[in-house]
Amino acid sequence: MAHFIQYLRPVRSAADIPQGLRRTPLGRLLEYHNCARPPRKHHKAEVLVCMCMDNRKQLTLPDNFAYILRTGGGNMRYNEFKISYAVGIGGVRHVAMIAHESCGMVGLAAKREEFVSGLVRHGGWTRKDAVRHFLKNAPRFEIGSELGFVREEAKRLGRKYPRVKVLPMFYRMADKKLYLIKAS
């Protein structure tokens, strides 16, 4: 994780939130989670949070504030319809793409045997079917590096939804806080 630190910008107080994000749903997301902003009543979602399904991460947000999509690695490829629903029906105009360190979707090829054995042992699959399943899907869901992936995925979604602000963020397991990602 140490190599990521130089690219992360901490948000310890509302004053650390860049001017352009203040008083926006993305700024409020940072305030709620990092700064213990007291929750207020929300009648509809203001932001879509796209993040990894990793069970070690939970956000502190009030009810009705956010749609949340959780997938392996926060990979939203193959989830565009759900995003479109949040934008088209829900009226969301802000998306937070959240990555984290030590993501299981990094280096999937090295996890092939563990994956296959686990499906056989826990899922009741045949070895042949488990291998076929892994080989078909692992390349689609491998994300490379967490930081690089979340930046590129945010850019991709920003191009797909040009009137929606898509912001990549990073969740550090060490302190359970969200960080902004500095421009590269």
**In a shared domain, residues 35 and 91:** yes
Query: 158 CB contacts (<8 Å, ≥6 apart)?
Result: 164, 165, 166
Quick one: pLDDT at residue 86?
Answer: 98
**In a shared domain, residues 89 and 21:** yes
- Pick from 91, 85, 96, 49: nearest CA to 70: 49
Quick one: pLDDT at residue 164?
Answer: 98
Quick one: pLDDT at residue 46?
Answer: 97
Average pLDDT, integer, range 74-83: 95
pLDDT at 115 over 80: yes
Query: pTM of the predicted model, to two decimals?
Result: 0.94
**In a shared domain, residues 41 and 121:** no
pLDDT at 13 over 80: yes
pLDDT at 112 over 50: yes
- Pick from 99, 61, 85: nearest CA to 180: 99
Q: In the predicted model, what is the mean pLDDT of the chain? A: 95
**In a shared domain, residues 118 and 74:** no
Cβ 72 vs Cβ 53: under 8 Å: yes
**In a shared domain, residues 137 and 91:** no
Containing structural domain, residue 30: 2-106+144-181
Quick one: pLDDT at residue 2?
Answer: 57
| Residue 61 DSSP SS3 | coil
Average pLDDT, integer, range 57-86: 96
Alpha helices in 89-170 (DSSP H): 112-123, 127-141, 146-160
